[in-house]
Amino acid sequence: MFLREKSRTKDGKTHRYWSVVENRRVSGRRVVQRQVLYLGELNDNQRAGWIRTIEAISGAKPKAKQLALFPDD
């Protein structure tokens, strides 16, 4: 599962809408994507919370990794 962003420009402003999507393997080797949950517009804190929730449910390891600017020597 992952978050998918859809952007739309309305009245000169860009709006981002989010949904939770999962990949499902169907007959043969074909993979289809299914929208599980529509979330609408989210701010950055809500988006981060949904990413943590999805990672906890699906068991996926976080892809983002924080690195130090000045490593300790």
pLDDT at 66 over 70: no
pLDDT digits (tens, 9 = 90+) for 17-49: 999 999 988 888 899 999 999 999 999 889 988
Residue 49 domain flag:
yes
Among residues 17, 21, 14, 13, which one has the least CA distance to residue 5?
Answer: 17
- Which pLDDT score, from 0 to 100, does residue 61 have? 61
Domain ranges, residue 50: 2-58
Q: What is the largest CA-CA distance in the chain?
A: 54
User: Does residue 72 form part of some domain?
Assistant: no
pTM for this entry: 0.68
Structurally, the chain folds into a number of domains equal to 1
Report yes or no on 69 lying in a domain.
no
Report if residue 73 sits inside a domain. Answer: no
User: Which two three-digit tokens encode residue 35?
Assistant: 């929208």
